[in-house]
Amino acid sequence: MALASQKALDALKGIGLNLYERKLWVALLARGTSTAGELSEIANVPRSRSYDILQSLAEKGFVVVQTAKPLKYVAVQPAEALDRAKKKVEEDMNTTMERIDELKSSQVLKELNSIFTEGMSMVTPEEMTGSLKGKYSVMQQLSSMFKVANKRINIVTTQEGLTDLYENHYNDLKKAVDRGVKVQIAASGAEKSTDACKALNDVAEIRSLTSKEVPISGRFAVVDGKELVFSLTDNKVHDTQHVAFWSKSEHAAGSLLEPLFKMVWNSSKPMN
């Protein structure tokens, strides 16, 4: 029986198939049609688990179930299986999004908000801190902060950071400005990010940091002097390895980073 390479198995893992699903599907591909018992022996998967796993594969579009006795399973041609799986993911995502929208406008959300408000009333400021791992988590937290800003958003960033702000947060910043929030961005290498600067000029005042005047190159954001995100890694790390510190400490945000931002801002160069 032909065996799949580790590269192929890793690729299947990347689209959401767990170890047993990968083993059983590859075994079925090699047989064309088979029973759960036969496949469990070939793939070295516990027989007691094989039925549920093959049913899961059928629901995802990788397997067809023959209603015979005993049950038999037919392999779906790989390209067709992937198309079916993609369609199923899209359908599930659309259904989930519809349910989320319904939940947001339901009485249940009010109940959940009430529970959250009561719980937060017992949390002290020093407990509202945490580490963010991965660029996606950092972007999500920044977005959440920008959405609740009332007065000001102060950002120190890099050339790459300007591009990230434009690609991921332009709409958040635009809505903040529409609410009357003042947005200021000081960026090292800003003059090299002309496209991002031009786009962000609509929503923020941008200044350039030079190593001569301001020997600083990093990223942090402060919102209303109450909440902050401070990057602990540089631009060279992989997106999954980005680490940042988040806090709602008004002391750290308002008495430490906000004054630091003002010093940086006053020493930076206005963009023409």
What would the pLDDT profile of 135-182 be if each residue is shown by its tens digit?
A: 899 999 999 999 999 999 999 998 888 889 999 999 999 999 999 999
Q: Are 3 and 29 in contact (CB under 8 A)?
A: no
Q: How confident is the model over 23-51, as pLDDT tens digits?
A: 999 999 998 999 999 999 999 999 999 99
Better-predicted residue by pLDDT, 184 or 251:
184
Q: What is the average per-residue pLDDT within 213-219?
A: 76
What whole-number percentage of the chain has pLDDT above 90? 52
Better-predicted residue by pLDDT, 211 or 132:
132
Helix (H, G, I), strand (E, B) or coil at 48: helix
Query: What is the CATH number that goes with domain 126-270?
Result: 3.30.870.10
Is residue 252 pLDDT above 70, yes or no?
A: yes
Q: How confident is the model over 44-93, as pLDDT tens digits?
A: 999 999 999 999 999 999 999 987 788 899 988 999 999 999 999 999 99
Burial of 75 (0-12, 13-18, 19+ CB in 10 A): buried
- What pLDDT shows up at residue 218? 84
Confidence of residue 189 (pLDDT cuts 50, 70, 90): confident
The backbone torsions φ and ψ at residue 105, rounded to the nearest 5 degrees and listed phi first, read -105, 15
Is residue 194 pLDDT above 80, yes or no?
A: no
Better-predicted residue by pLDDT, 270 or 80:
80
What whole-number percentage of the chain has pLDDT above 70? 93
Nearest Cα residue to 206 out of 234, 244, 165: 165
The Cα-based distances of 140 to 29, 167, 172, 219, 227 in angstroms read: 40, 13, 11, 15, 14
Q: What are the sequence ranges of the domains in the chain?
A: 6-76, 126-270
Owner of token pair 């940042």: 244
- What pLDDT shows up at residue 38? 92
Least confident of 40-54, 124-138, 223-237: 124-138
Cα–Cα distance measured from residue 25 to residue 125, given in angstroms and rounded to the nearest whole number: 51
Owner of token pair 């999004």: 97
How many residues would you count in the chain? 272
Q: At what angle do helices 47-60 and 78-104 cross, to 10 degrees?
A: 80
**Four-CA torsion 157, 256, 224, 132, nearest 10 degrees:** 60
Do the two domains 6-76 and 126-270 of this chain adopt the same fold? no
Q: Are 229 and 141 in contact (CB under 8 A)?
A: yes
6-76 CATH fold: Arc Repressor Mutant, subunit A (1.10.10)
pTM, 2 dp = 0.64
